[in-house]
Amino acid sequence: MTAISAHEDDIFRPALHYTAKNTWLNDPNGLVYHEGIYHLYYQNNPFGNVWGNVSWGHATSVDLVNWDEQPVAIACDAEEDIFSGSIVIDQYNTSGLGNGQTAPLVAMYTSAYKDSSARRGTQAQSLAWSSDGGYTWTKHHSNPVLDRNSADFRDPKVFRYDGPPGSYWVMVAVEANDHKVVIYSSDNLRDWHYLSSFGPANATGGVWECPDLFPLPLDGDEERTKWILTVNLNPGGPNGGSGGQYFVGHFDGVAFTSETTVTDGSSETAELDAYHWLDWGRDYYAAVSFNNAPDGRRLMVGWMNNWQYGAAIPTWPWRSSMSLVREMSLVTDQGQPRLSQQVADEYRNCGSMSVNTWSGLAIDEGMRHLHPGAPVEIIDVTFLPGSAEEFGLIIRGNGTDGTRIGIRPSENRIITDRTSSGNTEFHESFASIDTAPLRPARDGSYSLKIFVDHCSVEVFAQDGQVTMTGLIFPGPDSTCLSLYAKGGTATAPSLKVARLG
């Protein structure tokens, strides 16, 4: 590791994103809201800052923004690692695990069996429960409760289904190498019955992992509710490495049918642009949604890293963080149902912000520096194209270099360029220019909302219809914000920058 070292003063620790204090984390697990508290569990190595000793770490929050790290919730042992999974509130004690006073929380997780286990090399679904609101957990004596004698059966997401065929628990999990989501049902969370499978379909350039299945009203109309199946894949993401795709369709309590399938997944040559991605950047993976979030909100969190280089990112003593929490909605775009994502409103209260606004900014060819800036900023900007072939912003800059977020109107694309973003040398595949399709609004404008933290940038374009999340490792003094245009001019009719104090 050269250039900027994080070791001395922990310069990359995020202000707005959750990270463990001094250990490794990956996938968010068991996201659940219970009695006023959001619980975030996660894949965690309690003893190091690279992947291993896989256990469920735990953090709690009352506002989604400020998180308190809690003791490890479910620990690995000599026979099993505790891979990803989910948590439900067993309100009516269907599992019989309740203590007669409070509803138990029930976790379904993947037991990844180690060499010392008689089941070595296989993955199966296991259950643990908590009677104290999610702080301490007991593994069930009859684990695993669902076994297919498979090496790649993992990542159960369980939810309560209520529909014409009845009311029961549904689990979606993956057969990762087969690019299949497998669906099971249960009345008691212990006995599971196979219902159906979905896939391969659309992107199959890597293993399928961490699925989720949930309903959303189309354009806010409950009468036109559709189901969204999300599935992460690694590698094979839209700009390389880890990524997440989604399908929109129907779930009848037994099977999911997709309306947005482009290919049957048998060929990897179809255009990645044609698929539907949860995020087009390279650092949004293993995204899943909260169970039981209040007010019917569908809140999602992803792991803000990529398996390509995740173990090498230059942070210390912690490594990896979660994305900001996103609220999902389903909207009609050009006649098609598409996800739209907004950062949860709660981040409005994330600390004392000083706000600067500009209007009618002319962007001539070259760079226009706006102010000294700050390492943590929330930027709202609208652009109108002029004669420039590319225009946009440079964030976390040093006057010449920085991270470029640009629009190429003639290509209908947005790019994020982190080739000169700071420390990129720690891994050969890190420096990259990532792109996504992006169309202008009816009036020809492009609007971006951008969340910049000490080592990340999350872009929400055109009201959250395209999102791009990426890690960056700039020097602490690289806080310059600039507008730029290449090969001509553009304008920024409005720009608002809120800087965290």
**Residues with catalytic roles:** 27
Give all strands of the β-sheet with 377-385 in edge-to-edge order: 353-363, 490-500, 377-385, 446-453, 456-461, 466-471
Q: Per DSSP, what are the bridge partners of residue 85?
A: 109
Q: Which helix (H) or strand (E) holds 246?
A: strand 243-251
Nearer to ligand FRU, 171 or 210 (CB): 210
Nearer to ligand FRU, 11 or 300 (CB): 300
**Among 43, 45, 423, 432, interactor with ligand FRU by CB under 6 A:** 43
| Type of residue numbered 376 | V
Nearer to ligand FRU, 155 or 377 (CB): 155
Task: Tell me the closest approach of the beta carbon of residue 251 to ligand FRU, in angstroms.
Answer: 22
- 54 touching ligand FRU, by CB under 6 A: yes
Task: Tell me the closest approach of the beta carbon of residue 107 to ligand FRU, in angstroms.
Answer: 13
The torsion of the CA quartet 372, 374, 375, 378, rounded to 10 degrees, works out to: -120
Tallying the residues shown for the chain, one arrives at: 501
In whole angstroms, what is the distance from residue 276 CA to residue 444 CA? 23
- 210 touching ligand FRU, by CB under 6 A: yes
**Among 24, 56, 83, 137, interactor with ligand FRU by CB under 6 A:** 83
Task: Tell me the closest approach of the beta carbon of residue 128 to ligand FRU, in angstroms.
Answer: 15
| Type of residue numbered 34 | H
CB 36 within 8 Å of CB 60:
no
Nearer to ligand FRU, 208 or 484 (CB): 208
- 279 touching ligand FRU, by CB under 6 A: no
Across 372-478, where does the E strand assignment appear?
A: 377-385, 390-397, 403-408, 413-417, 433-437, 446-453, 456-461, 466-471
Task: Tell me the closest approach of the beta carbon of residue 233 to ligand FRU, in angstroms.
Answer: 10
- 181 touching ligand FRU, by CB under 6 A: no
**Among 13, 17, 154, 276, interactor with ligand FRU by CB under 6 A:** 154
Q: Are strands 123-130 and 105-113 parallel, antiparallel or unpaired?
A: antiparallel
Task: Tell me the closest approach of the beta carbon of residue 264 to ligand FRU, in angstroms.
Answer: 23
Instruction: Tell me, residue by residue from 111 to 150, as one string, x for binding to ligand FRU by CB under 6 A and - for no binding.
Output: ----------------------------------------
| Type of residue numbered 27 | D
Nearer to ligand FRU, 153 or 169 (CB): 153
C-alpha 234, offset from chain centre: 13
- 110 touching ligand FRU, by CB under 6 A: yes
Cis peptide before 200, with omega less than 30 degrees from 0?
Answer: yes
Nearer to ligand FRU, 82 or 105 (CB): 82
Buried b (16+ CB within 10 A) or exposed e, 442-469: eeebbbbbbbbbbbbbbbbbbebebbbb
**Among 23, 45, 49, 84, interactor with ligand FRU by CB under 6 A:** 84
CA atoms within 13 A on the CB side of 18: 31
**Among 80, 90, 175, 209, interactor with ligand FRU by CB under 6 A:** 209
Task: Tell me the closest approach of the beta carbon of residue 249 to ligand FRU, in angstroms.
Answer: 23
Chain residues binding ligand FRU by CB under 6 A are 26-27, 43, 54, 83-84, 110, 154-155, 209-210, 286
